[in-house]
Every structure is written in C-alpha cells, then in structure tokens.
C-alpha cells in the first residue's frame, strides 16, 4: 500500500503533465486558426438563439375534426353513399325509393382492420334502420336493457348486408350480430369505424 503523501504527489505531477500536454497544443491551434474558433462560436450562438426562439413560440392548437357525414347503404343498388350525420334511417337514396315506396337508404357501419384503409380494406359490418311505431308496439318490453349495446339498440333494427330479415338490435340475435361485427381478426386486432371523406 502506498503512503498518502506519495499518492498526492503522483496526482499533482499527473495534473501538471496533462496541462503541459494539452494547453500548448490547444493554444497553438487557436492562435493558428482564430477564424475557425470565432465561426464555431458564432454558429453555436445562432443555434442557441434559434432553439430558444423555437421553444418560446406557442404550439398550434390541435384541430378537432368533427364528422359531418355518415355512411349509408342503398338497398336498391347495394352501394354505399354518404349523407349528413344524424339522419334517422331510412332516408332517401340516390336510386330513389324501394318498390313499396319507402326510402331505400339505411345506415351502414363501415369498418376496417387497417389504420388508414383504402376502399378494398373496408367492409360493411352491418346495416341499421329505425323500427316503425307499429313494430315497436309489438316488441316485448325488456327489463334487462343495462348494457350499452342494448341501450344503443333500443328501437333500431339491424342486419348483415347479405341477410334479408331485419332484427331488433337489442335482441340476443341482434347483439350477436354486433359482437361478430367487432370481433378481432386472426392477429387479435379489432376493427375501427371508417369515416367517410
């Protein structure tokens, strides 16, 4: 073990040696290239100023995009169209009324498993229309309307695109259609609603 005074002496000699090796070289380089040093200092000051100004500028507020249109399905042609949000289906369709004179436009729930889907990655999960007053009077009163899906489905009829029969959305069969529509794919991803553009 080395004595303490020897350690201190070694440390002082090391510091003096490192100063002699570093300082003359740095000083000599600064004396030879003063423009480079001043240019680097000026660039650093400008960069610091730019960053300071950038940090002081307030961020732009985030724009909230409100959906003003919804997807609808034309029962005559089997095609999608868009209309104003909040309309109660059935609504007038581009192809005109159904053969029985009722409007041919029903609400379509267009979903996709892709983040920003193109037309081929979208699918119609189910269709929705409103039950008539006569139908609502015939439906049995349900007391167990506690779930969000049952509350949403009250007074609505849904069906898959290929089906012909409309089903009460708050019935067990209607809830099954909803559950299948939002079921995860083989990769475990759940579909999301595709907004019309």
Give domain status of residue 41, yes or no. Answer: yes
Which tens digits make up the pLDDT trace of 161-173? 999 899 888 888 9
Regarding whether 43 and 17 lie in a shared domain, the answer is yes
What is the C-alpha to C-alpha distance for residues 173 and 32, in angstroms, rounded to an integer? Answer: 87
Regarding whether 94 and 37 lie in a shared domain, the answer is no
Which tens digits make up the pLDDT trace of 133-143? 776 666 666 55
Regarding whether 47 and 77 lie in a shared domain, the answer is no
Token readout for 127 is 């269709």
Looking at residue 170, its pLDDT comes to: 83
Give domain status of residue 103, yes or no. Answer: yes
What is the C-alpha to C-alpha distance for residues 183 and 189, in angstroms, rounded to an integer? Answer: 8
DSSP 85-104: TTPPSSB--TT---TTSS--
Regarding whether 154 and 121 lie in a shared domain, the answer is yes
Regarding whether 174 and 100 lie in a shared domain, the answer is yes
What is the C-alpha to C-alpha distance for residues 148 and 163, in angstroms, rounded to an integer? Answer: 24
Burial of 171 per CB tally in 10 Å (0-12, 13-18, 19+): middle
Give domain status of residue 62, yes or no. Answer: no
Q: Which domain holds residue 74?
A: 69-193
Regarding whether 84 and 44 lie in a shared domain, the answer is no
Quickly tell me which residue has 């269709």 as its tokens: 127
Judged against a pLDDT cut of 60, whether residue 48 lies above it is answered with: yes
Give domain status of residue 183, yes or no. Answer: yes
């Amino acid at each position: 073990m080395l004595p303490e005074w020897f350690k201190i002496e070694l440390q002082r000699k090391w510091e003096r040696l490192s100063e002699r090796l570093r300082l003359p070289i740095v000083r000599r380089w600064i004396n030879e290239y003063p423009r480079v040093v001043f240019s680097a200092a000026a660039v650093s000051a400008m960069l610091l100023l730019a960053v300071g100004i950038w940090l002081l500028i307030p961020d732009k507020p985030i724009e909230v995009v409100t959906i003003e249109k919804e997807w609808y399905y034309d029962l005559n042609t089997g095609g999608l169209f868009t209309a104003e949000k909040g309309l109660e289906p059935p609504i007038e369709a581009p192809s005109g009324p159904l053969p029985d004179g009722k409007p041919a436009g029903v609400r379509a729930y267009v979903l996709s498993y892709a983040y920003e889907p193109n037309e081929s990655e979208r699918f119609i999960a189910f269709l929705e229309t409103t039950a008539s007053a006569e139908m609502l009077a015939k439906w049995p009163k349900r007391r167990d309307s506690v779930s969000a899906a049952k509350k949403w489905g009250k007074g609505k009829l849904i069906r898959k695109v290929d089906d012909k029969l409309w089903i009460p959305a708050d019935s067990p069969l209607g809830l099954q259609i909803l559950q299948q529509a939002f079921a995860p794919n083989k990769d475990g991803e759940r579909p999301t609603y595709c907004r019309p553009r």
